[in-house]
Chain A
Amino acid sequence: MTEQKLDFEQAISRLEEIVRHLEKGDLPLNESLSLFEEGTRLLASCSTMLDEAEQQVVKLRKGADRRPVELPLEDE
C-alpha cells in the first residue's frame, strides 16, 4: 500500500485533504467511502506513529574517514 510510505507530515496533509473533500461532499458516494476508509487508515497509522515514537539521542563524532559515527550520549 503506497500510503504506508507516507511520513507523518505527508500523512497529515493527506488527511487534511481528505477531510476537506468529505466536508465538501462533492464526490460520488463510493469515492467518498474509499476516501473515508483511507482517512481512517491514515488516522490509525498516525496515532501508532505517535504512540510508538521513542526519542533517540545520539552524539556524532567524526570517524577515521571523516564520516559521522553515532555514539550513545551517556558516553561522556
Chain B
Amino acid sequence: MERETLSVTQLNERIKSLLDGDPLLGDVCVRGELSNYKIYPSGHHYFTLKDSESTLRCVMFRPNASRLRFRPESGMCVTAFGRVTVYPRDGAYQLYCSALMPEGTGDLQVAFEQLKAKLSAEGLFDADHKKPIPAIPKRIAIITSSAGAAVHDMIRILGRRWPAAKILLLPVRVQGAEAPAEIAGAIRYANEFDVGDLIITGRGGGSIEDLWAFNDERVARAIYASRIPVISAVGHEPDVTISDYVADRRASTPSNAAEIAVPDQDEMREALTSYSIRSAQAMRKRIALLRQQLNEMARKRVLTDPSVLLDNRRLDLERIQDRLLSAEERQLSGKKQRFVSSAAALDAMSPIRVLTRGYAIAQDDKGCVLRTVSELAPEMPFELILHDGYADCRVTTVHEGEKHDGTKA
C-alpha cells in the first residue's frame, strides 16, 4: 500500500493544527518552577517551567512581559497563563505565556488573570472593536451606586465643565454578589431604551474584593455588547479591572471619567472667542485688500482724467487709418505690377510683333483669316498682310501637304 509522504513542514503544520484545535491548550494555566530564565534585548522573556519529572519551554513576549508586577527568577514557583502551540521552525511546542504569578498569589488574582487571558483570546479587548467617545454628548448615562462619593464627584465635575449634558443615573449596587448582574443588566437596559449617547460605569476606590464586580465576566460581556460607547472608571489610578480592558475608554478614576466625557465650557468659550477674532480678522484683511485694489485702479489716469480716454481713442483711430492706407498702397502696387506684366504678355502675343519677324497673314475678301488650304481655290482673291502694309493677291494653284524643300507650306 502507498503511504502518504509528508514534508517536515506539513507534519509540523499538522501537529500545530491539532494543538491549536484543543480548547484547553488555547487557554491554559500551569504551575511549575522557573528555570533558565532569560530576558533578551528584544524585551522577550524565555524560560523553562519544570517540576520533578518534566520541563516545558515558555516564551513571554515583550508586551506581556512589560506588565509583570514582579521580577521572575530561576527557582521561583509560579503559575503561568497562556496557550500552547507549535513553533514550526523548531518543530517544538511551547507555552506562549501571557501572564505569570508568583506562588502564593491570592485566588482572586489568579481568577483575574485567567479571565483576562480568556477574554483577550476571544478578542473582547481588541482595539478595532472600540467605539469613539462622542465629542459633545447630550445625554450621559451613569451606571454606579447612587450612594457613594463617586456619583457626586462625577455630577459636580460634569456640571462644572458642561452643564448642557443631561445626566441620567441608573443606580446599581457596585459590590456584593448581586452587583455584577445589576451592572450588566443596567448596561443592557441603557442600550435597549437608548437612554444616553455615552455610558460611564464604575465606582470609587476600595479593596480588590470591593472592585470585584468590575472583574466579572457578565459585566465584561455587557460592556463589549454595548452599542453605546462605555467609559470604565473603577477605583484609583493603579487599579485596573477587566471592565477597563473591555471598555471603549478607560478612566483612572470616576472624576477622570467626567473630565474625559465632556469638553470644558471655559475652553469652549475661548475657542468661540478665537473663531470670532479669526473670522473678523479674515474679513478685515479681505476688505483692506479690496480697498487697496480699488485705490490702485483709481490712481490710473483713465479714471482721474476723461480726456485721456479721448486721446487714446484718437490714437487708435490714427493707427487704424495708417493701417488702412498702407494696406491700400500694398494692394495698388500689386495691381500695377500685375498690369505691367500682363501688358508685356499681351505685347508678346500681338500679331503685329509676329509679322515683324517675317510672317504674313492671309485674309479672304470678307476679312476672315485663312488657316488651311482647303479654304483656297484657284482664282480666289485674297489679301496678304505684312507688318508694314498689305497686297491684293489671287490663288494660282493649290497644293496640299508639305513643300518639298522641307519648310512648311
Contact = CB atoms under 8 A, between A and B. Distances in A.
A43 B62 CA distance: 50
Contacts of B163: 53-55
Interface in A39-76: 39-40, 43, 46-47, 49-50, 53-60, 62, 67-68, 70, 73, 76
A43 B155 CA distance: 27
B169 A50 contact: no
Interface residues of A, number: 36
B286 A32 contact: yes
A57 B138 contact: no
Contacts of B158: 55
B265 interface: yes
Nearest to A15: B275
Contacts of B134: 9
Nearest to B196: A60
A57 B167 contact: yes
Contacts of B162: 53
A46 B272 contact: yes
Contacts of A18: 279
A23 B159 CA distance: 35
A60 B168 contact: yes
Interface in B133-167: 134-136, 138, 141, 146, 155, 158-159, 162-167
A62 to B, nearest CB: 7
Given A22-B283, A32-B283, A9 B135 contact: yes
Given A50-B268, A55-B159, A70 B283 contact: no
7 contacts: A9-B135, A19-B282, A39-B279, A50-B269, A53-B164, A59-B169, A70-B168
Q: Which 6 A-B pairs have the closest CB atoms?
A: A22-B282, A53-B164, A55-B163, A55-B159, A53-B163, A9-B136
Interface of A: 7-9, 12, 15-16, 18-19, 22-23, 25, 29, 32-33, 36, 39-40, 43, 46-47, 49-50, 53-60, 62, 67-68, 70, 73, 76
